Structure 1
Amino acid sequence: MNRKSQRFERHPHRQHGLTAVSIILILAMIGFFAMIAIRLFPIYMEHFSVVSHLENLAEEAGVTEKTNGEIFRTLNKRFSIDNVKNVTDENIFIERNKDGSMVIAIEYEVRTPAVGNVDMVVSFVDEVTLD
């Protein structure tokens, strides 16, 4: 007999593979992470929209000459079109420097339920500098 067949003959009832409990635990972990991804996906899609609008605003000509109210209205119109619900005027900060440059920042948090009374909180801070 060769060594391989001897190894199996010593332990004829030895089994290989995953048990049902192991499979259930692996499926539960996959389900948990899939649930987190499903809950976070819309939040990040909305964030990509916010970043896109902020960058598009920075590329426009004459933004530094606009008043703060005009900038707020422009951003709010764009956010309304893309159904951005988590950014309000309180989350938009405009700083005008003495050299004529401007910094527009958007800082906000999104809270979404995870499991039971446990929530997931995602914080975003985005800014552009205009010369």
Structure 2
Amino acid sequence: MKRKQGGLSLVGFLVVLAVVGFTAYIGMKLFPMYQEYYSVRTAMKSLANEPGVADMDPAKVQDLFFRRLYISYSENVKAQNVKFERTDGGWRMKVNYEVRRPLVGNLDVVGRFDTTQDLTRRGAN
């Protein structure tokens, strides 16, 4: 009895290669967006631990925030994306921004990021 040898054909291999390549391409488009979001979150948590931040003027807090983002080469967060609300014992900082990257042809990848951090005398929660 002869056995037929099984395996991946050339066409099958090319299909798998195309799927893996497209997945890697999308990952390369998404990774910088989420890396920047992580930088925003890190800068906000760092601000929450800054001594006296609850008593600072929002303009001063915003300046400290953007100095931290400058180190991370963040380019999508603008001053109009940062809002402050007065709370008991400090400020609530909200950052809401959108990142749009071209994907293929006329298709774009859009990431909307919205995060909040309380800046109080107690520090980060």
TM-score class normalised by the smaller sequence: 0.7 to 0.9
**2:23 matched residue in structure 1:** 33
Residue 16 of structure 2 corresponds to residue 23 of structure 1: no
Write out aligned runs for 1:75-114 (5 A). 75-97=65-87, 99-114=88-103
SS at match of 2:98: strand
TM-score by length of 2: 0.87
- Contact kept in structure 1, 2:43 and 2:68, CA below 8 Å: yes
Aligned to 1:53: 43
Correspondence for 2:123: none
Matched, 1:115 2:104: yes
Alignment TM-score, normalising by the size of structure 1: 0.83
In percent, how many aligned pairs have the same letter?
A: 36
Consecutive unaligned residues in structure 1, runs of 5 or more: none
RMSD: 1.5
Using the alignment, how far apart are the partners of 2:92 and 2:111 within structure 1? Answer: 23
User: Structure 1 residues 73-82 or 51-60, which shifts more?
Assistant: 73-82
Query: Which of 1 and 2 has higher RCO (CA within 8 Å, sep 6+)?
Result: 2
Counterparts of 2:12 and 2:99, CA distance in 1: 35
Residue type of the alignment partner of 1:84: S
Contact 2:47 2:119 survives alignment (8 Å) = no
Write 1 or 2 for the structure with the bigger share of helix. 1
Deviation of the 1:80 alpha carbon? 1.7
